[in-house]
Amino acid sequence: MGFLNDLLPSIQSLGLWGYWVIGLLAFGEALVLTSLFSPGTVIVVLGGALVAQGFYDFGDMIWFVAIGTTLGAELSFRIGEKGEGLFGEDNRVFKTAHLERGKKFFAKYGAPSIIIGHFFGPLRPIVPVVAGLSGMSRRRFFAWNVVGGFAYTIALLSVGYFFGTAFDFLGATATRAGLFVLALLLGFALLWYLSVKLRQALPFLISVARSVGQAVRDNPDVRALLGRHPRLFGFVANRLSRQTFTGLPLTGFVIVFGYFLILYAGSTLSFITSQSIVQADIRVANLLFAFRDPALVQFFTIVTAFGYWKIIVILALALSLVLWAGQRISYLPGLWLALVGNQVTVSLLKIAFARPRPELAVYTESSFSFPSGHSAVSVAFYGFVVFVLVRERFGPRLVPLLAGAIGVFLIGLSRLYLVEHYLSDVLNGYLVGALWLLVGIWLVEWRRAGKGHLGVSRPSGMRKLIQIGLIVSAGAGVWISILDYQQTLNIRAPARIAQLSDPLETAFLKGILPTHSENIFGVSQEPVSLAILAKSEAGFLGLLKKAGWQLADGPNLNSLSRAAYAVWFRREYGSAPITPAFWNGKPQPHDFGFQQETADKNLRKRHHARFWRTGFRTRDGLLIFVGTASFDDGLKWGLTHRIDPNIDAERDFLADDLRKTGLLAKEYEIQLVPPVLGTNLTGDPFFTDGRTLVLRVAPVSN
């Protein structure tokens, strides 16, 4: 971020010449003679960031970049008209290998490749050259080139504009959004790396498998066994044959469908019978609520819109028309069977289970929670789109597969982050969508095998223009629907504080107030050792502050990295985040963590306490806060703190600090639970007499 903050004002100093510089670099990258030396794409994206920072006008920047990139491609086209003699293996700029790649690309996509080529790095200046070599008319090339130049310009400037608006926000503070973004980027990078490695190793694994299979078939004992049971092994051989659809293709479908059906049945049965899954659902939802961030709420609201039924209908209709225009209508029955079957199944399951939505949802939705319709339709629809792209060999297979997997994952994650669904809802929705996706693919392949409906003819130039128009129209419709989706959803009102009709001790005995903190699976941890009654939240916070206890930072990229540094290098960090624990299903980071440094002045040792809002008031109108306290006396595994077993000593230490403030009006003890010997989530032992100290904050005099 610091690099950009220094660079942007430097470019701003160019004034109006900045338009010319960026346009000239875009021209240089599109011109085959200079493309190797011009970082046009990077500079155009940076130009969008400059627009977002207010340095330049968006409309003016579009004209300069579009004219530059269009003129560069036009000159490359004229160079191509001169013939193939310009290219050679020893020529660094006009390499024969580049020409061959360009020819294949142009042969595959035809005239629309001029538009697509603007977005494909090394091919960008080569495609116009190939168009010139092919004898394409200048007027026709010019029309396609203008469309591609403006599409390229608007797309890249928009990307730069988006990141430009985020630089100030993300550069100023690494918030929870930064933590999520970093985790997602690392996860996607790992997924991409593993996919590439697997693809590289696949030919070797296939070769080994074939060799092993051949060796098994040539074994005399195996050959004798085949001879004794010809009908059985003939049936197996037919099921593994690649020559007919009823062979290996159908066998593979049956196995995969059966696998997902078993997974689905298991997940549904676990939801019905396993209370631990329900408890984990609640705690995952509450933990994500603790990481709620305005920027991430906005981002995931946009992401989740791509599973909204209106947007799915728009995209499905657009895909159907694109397939019709491309003479690929045999995909349509499979597509609509997958979508309709998925929707009917989800609706019936929601009615059958009637699971209420999570209480902490950002938006109020009227339907039931189990399973997640967004997650199900994302697999059914976007999975089918990936199937079409792979089946039609539209670019490298790995790209649509990874893009589809990432998109489906993000839609499911959006439902969890916005707490519109529980984890089991999303996973079950994925399985429902996967089952119907397989049914749709089976129908397409069955029709193809039986009737040969999938044509191989290449659509005409007019049909390709129609397809491009449909895609652009669908994009506009999706964008309008996303804006409407955000504006019409109702933000859920905050929960109201209830009146506690029973005395505090009775409320604990009746289970109205849980007596123990919990881990994420609902297993009891330390018993509640402190209860503070205050007129307001400000009075509660003021008491702890005056006692010298500092409010802990929330868990985010900045605080966690600072904490790791402080722990490893024995430095101070008086407001370091505290490991989350739950009470009544709510994580402590959503409520309050407090700590006080020791004489060692480093984060390896500290006094700390966790407090939770109970959501109740006493009969005389005081808010009830419950908490636990413990002392971190060192580090274990190099990753987490180790607590002192005597948690009662830390309870009494905190109580003494609170008494010294002079803000307490009353205190008393209740025997909450019998004396306990136990362990916390990380296995640290603790012991307690089971008493809870109740402290009442004195009202503030006017």
SS (H, E, C) 373-409: HHHHHHHHHHHHHHHHHHHCCCCCCHHHHHHHHHHHH
Q: Do residues 668 and 633 share a domain?
A: yes
pLDDT of residue 1: 40
Nearest to 629 by CA among 613, 615, 649: 649
- 394 Cβ partners below 8 Å, 6+ apart? 388, 400
Q: Do residues 89 and 145 share a domain?
A: yes
Q: Do residues 442 and 515 share a domain?
A: no
Q: Do residues 480 and 517 share a domain?
A: no
Give the residue numbers spanning the domain of 467.
Answer: 247-491
Within a domain: 338: yes
Q: Do residues 263 and 349 share a domain?
A: yes
What 3-state class would DSSP assign to 635? strand
* Burial of 157 (C-beta count, 10 Å sphere; 0-12/13-18/19+): buried
Candidate ranges 472-486, 582-596, 612-626; pick with highest mean pLDDT: 612-626
Of 96-105, 186-195, 588-597, 661-670, where does mean pLDDT reach its minimum? 96-105
Within a domain: 177: no
Q: Given 153, 172, 191, which residue is the final one in a domain?
A: 172
Number of domains comprising the chain: 3
Within a domain: 186: no
Within a domain: 224: no
Q: Which two tokens stand for residue 375?
A: 């997650």
Q: Do residues 484 and 565 share a domain?
A: no
Are 393 and 401 spatial neighbours (Cβ–Cβ below 8 Å)?
no
Q: Do residues 428 and 504 share a domain?
A: no
* Confidence label for 656 from pLDDT (cuts 50, 70 and 90): very high
Within a domain: 242: no
Within a domain: 539: yes
Within a domain: 218: no
The dihedral through the CA atoms of 661, 667, 673, 676 has a sign that is: positive
- Average the pLDDT over 515-528 and give the result: 80
Q: How far is CA 544 from CA 70, 527, 539, 551, 569, in A?
A: 65, 21, 9, 8, 28
Helices (H), 86-175: 96-109, 113-117, 126-133, 138-172
Centre a 10 Å sphere on the Cβ of residue 96 and count the other Cβ atoms it contains.
13
Are 49 and 158 spatial neighbours (Cβ–Cβ below 8 Å)?
no
Q: Do residues 544 and 515 share a domain?
A: yes
SS3 content of the chain, % helix, strand, coil (to 5): 60, 10, 25
Q: Do residues 443 and 540 share a domain?
A: no
**Cα–Cα distance between 471 and 444 in angstroms, integer?**
23
Q: Given 156, 172, 188, which residue is the final one in a domain?
A: 172
Q: What does residue 93 show for φ and ψ, rounded to 5 degrees?
A: -90, -50
Candidate ranges 145-154, 480-489, 515-524; pick with highest mean pLDDT: 145-154
- pTM for the model: 0.52
Are 351 and 336 spatial neighbours (Cβ–Cβ below 8 Å)?
no
Per cent of the chain over pLDDT 70 is 68
Q: Do residues 514 and 368 share a domain?
A: no
- 25 Cβ partners below 8 Å, 6+ apart? 38, 39, 40, 43, 44, 68
Rg of the chain taking only CA atoms, in angstroms: 32
- Average the pLDDT over 261-283 and give the result: 66
- Average the pLDDT over 311-330 and give the result: 84
Whether the per-residue pLDDT at 300 is higher than 80: the answer is yes
Within a domain: 215: no
Q: Do residues 534 and 457 share a domain?
A: no
pLDDT digits (tens, 9 = 90+) for 439-476: 888 888 887 776 654 444 555 566 667 767 777 777 77
pLDDT of residue 381: 92
pLDDT of residue 84: 55
**Mean pLDDT across the chain:** 76
Q: How far is CA 601 from CA 508, 566, 567, 574, 607, in A?
A: 38, 10, 11, 9, 12
Q: Which two tokens stand for residue 409?
A: 């994952």
Are 237 and 226 spatial neighbours (Cβ–Cβ below 8 Å)?
no
What 3-state class would DSSP assign to 516? strand
* Burial of 64 (C-beta count, 10 Å sphere; 0-12/13-18/19+): buried
Q: Given 472, 491, 510, which residue is the final one in a domain?
A: 491
Whether the per-residue pLDDT at 694 is higher than 50: the answer is yes
Q: Give 30 or 198, the one with higher predicted confidence.
A: 30
pLDDT of residue 653: 92
Q: Do residues 400 and 258 share a domain?
A: yes
